[in-house]
Chains A and B, each alone.
Chain A
């Protein structure tokens, strides 16, 4: 800030110093989005990236530095790339997040050697310990301006007077106390990536590369005896934008071709959103979740093949049209028709043993082929009071004459779930034109109350 302005300065003061200053209102949402974008971009260095307030990022680079030629080279690379994108960034690498934070904001940054924590902190103001402005001001009032001043003080009175968090922060900065950072995204169980000398744009190239890197993923899966269920393909565009494409499989996968196949449909589905621009320079394939993999004995009989290809079909369809597109169902123990069956995405349930079990409460009374999404009110005429079928009814503006009727079948509400509903008396009706319907009367005839009639399903 060559103008002598600083963060937190009053606008009036700044205007007094520089009348020609251009004022732009703060937009915290956009700032946050930008920081998230940079954090996404930083994923290329390590999967453990955490946000720090509104203007900082923590990267846990444990075990990553050798990939980039050492700590100094890594830091230089990050800073240079961000500088080229137009950001002025201060960075530091040290043994603890607290020390790096202090070195970035109150020092000169850079790589801080293992044993140099104390010397680095000594001359910094106490605010560098992330203790908040109030605590820093209280310390300043007592003449404790530098971190050095705290070193010589006995710990117990300090904690008593200012609270224990000052000591905690001090210990964290010195590395005596472990401080975990919480990454923004779940870390993949396994992850492979490919850096490209020349950026790729075409979908076929992306898929080809995905298949190739998936092959190296398979070794990792094999050594764990597992197969991946949820995969994430991360595409880093040249200009720093990051695309994440997730795909699920209905059963554990360990075949590179099939893993890439998941993304074939997925890429077609997200085609419009995936703007390749000048191309992607880095591809990463993460396994977000894996399950034990059972090796199927290959068989000459074609039946085995058939059974294996049903999950394949579901994977393809789910990748293209969404995970909830193909629905399977589960029977449940309930007499209320709409509660006896619950729909579940086939993707997550087809690999289970399948629903071989018969309906739990298999009723002898006949159920319709098609059940309306919700019972529709209808008018019933000349119903036999108190518990007979109607002799005529009007549904969807069409009058039907009942020729034959069967019933009633009483379905009582499940009082342990909801206590408001009245019991239903179901009837199968056949009308003069030969159509068969499933209707019910809700409630009973009382002096001041007439029950309502509802259409609920259609028979063959």
Chain B
């Protein structure tokens, strides 16, 4: 851990040096970012604003349209959060650029683990699905070729490439190739990495996504409906950016208005405290137990030991 901390510190020191070389003091950088956050007119047209001031400031105006952005999850079970964030970004890109075609290049194992993108759900999530395309290439090489071709063609609003872990055949040079294609065609590639480690790549920004309890549904009176599951909330860490300190926040995706907002703090739910009216038997949480629950019944004889 100590090594990690010193590495981080050295990284910050290097970033400060670079900022000084570019003629900006770190103080100036921070101030500039604050300025930009206040004044959205400064935003260049090649960025898609997330609508949250400090995120946009950290992203230097928003999500880049001419590059690769990575979304990473630590575990496969966070696939829902990762997919949700990527699709929310795609929906924002669709909304702000006016293009609608999306290509989701999925990984076959992830498909089995977390399921296939489901168009009815996507439509409810705020993604335009008229030209939603899906491909599941057999090998990673095919997937990379497909992502490259798709980005270079310029026909898509965004290309979503899903990979699992940190495969050796998707290294720095491959990611550089992809991001150069994206830059040349000025079309974004969203890289969704399930259960992956931090890795050097050519992605301009990298988010770490994890699930967080959803906000509660808002009634028309403005009150929150206790115990309901409303809009999804992500626990985000902006791991890679020009900003020296990683940014961590809870973001809520409003699928009706297609916009992000800060997550509202939700009350502890009625169900979690009181459970049900008739909770039935509460089993203790099993620790170090066998993988399956033992069969319920009377033990009549032991198995043979020898």
A binding-site residues for B, Cβ under 8 Å: 306-307, 309-310, 312-314, 316-317, 320-321, 325-329, 331, 337, 340-341, 343, 346, 350, 354-356, 358-359, 363, 366-373, 379, 381-385, 388, 391-392, 394, 397-399, 401-406, 428, 430, 432-436, 457-460
Contact = CB atoms under 8 A, between A and B. Distances in A.
B282 to A, nearest CB: 7
B247 interface: no
B293 A306 contact: no
B114 A458 contact: yes
Interface string B128-157: 011111110100001001100110011110
B87 A458 contact: no
Most buried by B among A317, A340, A343: A317
B86 to A, nearest CB: 10
A325 B137 CA distance: 7
A366 B111 CA distance: 21
A148 B154 CA distance: 75
Nearest to A383: B280
Nearest to A354: B130
Interface of B: 77-81, 83-85, 87-88, 99, 101, 103, 111-112, 114-125, 129-135, 137, 142, 145-146, 149-150, 153-156, 210-214, 227-229, 232-235, 253, 269, 271-272, 275-283, 285-286, 291-293
Nearest to A437: B80
Given A312-B153, A368-B115, A436-B229, A459 B135 contact: no
B280 A391 contact: yes
A69 B125 CA distance: 69
B118 A310 contact: no
A433 B75 CA distance: 13
A369 B121 contact: yes
Contacts of A307: 155
A309 B111 contact: no
A368 B83 CA distance: 11
Prevailing SS type, chain A contact patch: mixed
Contacts of B275: 391
B123 A359 contact: yes
The 10 A-B residue pairs whose C-beta atoms are closest, nearest first, are A460-B84, A370-B115, A434-B211, A367-B121, A371-B118, A382-B280, A460-B232, A310-B155, A309-B155, A313-B153
19 contacts: A316-B149, A327-B134, A328-B131, A328-B133, A329-B129, A341-B119, A356-B130, A367-B121, A368-B121, A370-B79, A379-B293, A382-B280, A384-B278, A388-B276, A394-B293, A399-B286, A404-B269, A406-B228, A460-B253
A316 B149 CA distance: 9
A326 B84 contact: no
A459 B133 contact: no
A354 B101 CA distance: 11
A120 to B, nearest CB: 59
Contact of B146 (A321, A356, A366): A321
A458 B116 contact: no
A358 B153 contact: no
B122 A326 contact: no
Nearest to B137: A321
B291 A397 contact: yes
Most buried by A among B125, B228, B280: B280
Nearest to A381: B283
A406 B130 contact: no
Given A329-B132, A435-B211, A370 B120 contact: no
Given A326-B134, A435-B211, A460-B83, A317 B118 contact: no
B208 to A, nearest CB: 14
Contacts of A341: 118-120
Given A317-B150, A436-B214, 16 more contacts: A313-B149, A313-B155, A317-B146, A326-B103, A327-B133, A331-B120, A337-B118, A341-B120, A346-B133, A358-B123, A367-B118, A394-B293, A403-B272, A406-B228, A435-B77, A460-B80
A214 to B, nearest CB: 21
B83 A370 contact: yes
Contact of A459 (B119, B232, B293): B232
Contacts of A459: 80, 84, 121, 232
A310 B83 CA distance: 24
Most buried by A among B145, B153, B210, B234: B153
B118 A457 contact: yes
B91 to A, nearest CB: 11
A131 to B, nearest CB: 55
A370 B134 contact: no
A332 B119 CA distance: 11
A6 B134 CA distance: 62
A131 B61 CA distance: 86
Contacts of B271: 402-405
A432 B293 CA distance: 21
A397 to B, nearest CB: 5
B131 A436 contact: no
Most buried by B among A383, A406, A434: A434
B217 to A, nearest CB: 9
B272 A432 contact: yes
A73 B142 CA distance: 50
Contact of B101 (A310, A337, A430, A457): A310
Most buried by B among A367, A404, A428: A404
Contacts of A434: 210-214, 233, 235
Nearest to A327: B134
A356 B154 CA distance: 21
B142 A370 contact: no
A208 B142 CA distance: 26
Nearest to A366: B124
A321 B142 contact: yes
Contacts of A358: 123
Contact of B269 (A327, A329, A343, A403): A403
A354 B99 CA distance: 14
A369 B133 contact: no
A306 B134 contact: no
A309 B84 contact: no
A318 to B, nearest CB: 10
Given A397-B291, A460-B80, A306 B99 contact: yes
Most buried by A among B99, B121, B124, B269: B121
A155 to B, nearest CB: 65
A399 B125 contact: no
